[in-house]
Amino acid sequence: MVKILICDELAEEGLGLFRQEKNLSVVLKTKLPLEELKKQIADADACIVRSGTQLTADVIGAARKLKVIGRAGVGLDNVDVEAASKKGIIVMNTPGGNTISAAEHTFSLLMALARNIPQASVSVKKGEWERKKFTGVELYEKTLGILGLGRIGTEVARRAQAFGMRVIGYDPFLRAEKALEIGVEAVSLDELLKQSDFLTLHMPLTAENRHLIGAKELEKMKKTARVINCARGGLVDEAALAEAIKNGRLAGAALDVFETEPPGDGAIVGLPQVIVTPHLGASTEEAQIAVAVDVVQSVIDFFKGKSIRNAVNFPSVDPEVLEQIKPYIHLAEKMGSLLAQLIEGQILQVDIEYHGQAVGYEATPITVAAIKGLLAPILAESVNYVNASFLAKERGIKITEAKTSDASRYSNLIDLDVRTDKKTSKISGTVFTREDTRVVRLDGFDVEVAPEGYLLLISNRDVPGIVGQIGTLLGAGGVNIAGMTLGRDKPGGQARTLLKIDSAVPDAVMHQIKKAKNVLDAKLIRL
């Protein structure tokens, strides 16, 4: 009998699907203490959670039989995907279940913000009757700026259009013609800030876009503008937002997510011009039913040997074929992730070419892995092996695949070229053994490095003393160098220094490196 451990409350519609399966034994135990959770998961074949249960590396390590983890929702902050992957456990989520609920909550806050509804309600309940104090603004013919035009951003756009709003959007990974298809005018971030009467965010939170909307950005906005964030806490600098509202630089804001949750009594929460809700974006009956049904059906299909849906760490291919191409999948995904951290501008085209022995394998899952690696760090949606190609197509990104028997110096080689509206970036990698994959060329420079952990890429002039200079700065900052590879276009020309390091580089040290003599640029890469 297959044991399904459910650790958080799940909608009855989902549980009912399990009851129809004779070979599945469902154990529903919520709010388990750590040791009891480890005891229960030890003999479980599957585990389903929402956001309340933390499946850490320690908990996953206690699982002896676990084959699949199902997350009823999108976020995976509470699941150690890397630990699960190392144990061969498939992790699934439900990326589409809360789209409508999140979009509707965003628009609810937008409307409440426009008409001061929460403030007016509180006033009337106090026995007051101050109509003039709560005079609002119409949405008709106002400009809504959307940061991030994925599923949720697109649904928000449709609702805004129904209210007669002009909708503009900024998404560096969506082509202008694709934006027009959904009735959105694509503009630059600066123009979005300047033109928007209402600004709403629908992007993932990454190290690169933390505080994407800060004091400098808020300065560019109209004094009558209002900001809505139902995406991720940290996208907006809450202190800067509070200051802008207090000083009359902004009319108001509505927040469903915060840098720290719960936010306590921070400055932003207490402002009368600010509406706050406790992360309710997906909190509707319909969304809870949708994610429950989705995750349960995915788990049932898995144990019936059907196709694997919405896996975040596993390609949907035949197990025997997968075993053969695992090193190539791993390499391609890492190559994509590496380039994602280097490219600039809007992605237009991705070209993947297979050489030598790599030609003999089924290329589709390898290509998908490269696309997943490229898009995952930069899209609001949960990107997995199932939807990576779809998301690329949805954004108008052209993907080409080619094969040639010639691999030059290597028995096998994968070339990945990414063309944006600013430049083309190139990376090549090879598989030496099942456990040894390497990046061997980057933007025309010969390098050789395992695509794992932290890498520091230095663009510099080919002059003596660069390595010592960088090493000294890293050492002073407490960063250990684990390996190094050098490449140059010609003696005395331009060079690339690629360092494998044991930890992230502190911001202050990165600043020093970028300012160092003969250093042209420096980028920290996390793989």
Per the annotation, the verdict on 232 as an active-site residue is yes
What CA–CA distance (Å, rounded) separates 438 from 451?
6
Q: How far apart are CA 193 and CA 213, in angstroms?
A: 9
Catalytic residue among 158, 210, 211, 279: 279
Contact call for residues 113 and 139 (beta carbons, < 8 A): no
Question: What is the Cα–Cα distance from 480 to 474, expressed in whole angstroms?
Answer: 7
Helix (H) or strand (E) holding 336: helix 319-340
Residue 322 to residue 299: CA distance in whole angstroms: 20
| Cα–Cα distance for residue pair 479/472, rounded to 1 Å | 10
261 is catalytic: yes
Q: Phi and psi of 60, rounded to 5°?
A: -65, -35
CA 361 to chain centre: 29
On whether the CB atoms of residues 196 and 145 are closer than 8 A, the answer is yes
Catalytic annotation, pick one of 181, 261, 323, 452: 261
Cα-based angle 105, 382, 53 (whole degrees, multiple of 5): 80
Please state, in angstroms and rounded to a whole number, the distance separating the CA atoms of residues 446 and 489.
9
146 CB-near residues (< 8 Å, 6+ apart) = 153, 156, 157, 167, 168, 169, 170, 184, 200, 202
Cα end-to-end distance, the chain, whole Å: 39
Reported residue count of the chain is 527
Close Cβ partners of 430 (under 8 Å, ≥ 6 residues apart): 331, 410, 411, 412, 413, 414, 437, 438, 440
Conformation bin of residue 258: beta by default, left when phi > 0, alpha when psi is -120 to 50: beta
Q: How many CA atoms lie within 13 A of 193 on its CB side?
A: 14
Note whether 5 and 46 are within 8 A (CB).
Answer: yes
Q: What is the DSSP string of 91-116?
A: EE--TTTTHHHHHHHHHHHHHHHHHT
Give the Å distances, CA to CA, from 253 to 131, 228, 270, 300, 323.
21, 6, 12, 43, 51
Q: Which residue type does 217 have?
A: E
How big is the chain by its Cα radius of gyration, in Å?
25
CA torsion 96→100→106→107, rounded to 10°?
A: 160
**Amino acid of residue 152:** I
Phi, psi of 169 (to 5 degrees): -145, 150
Tell me which residue of 313, 382, 390, 386 sits closest to 98, measured CA to CA. Answer: 382
Asked if 377 and 206 touch (Cβ cutoff 8 Å), the reply is yes
Question: Among all residues, which ones are annotated catalytic?
Answer: 232, 261, 279
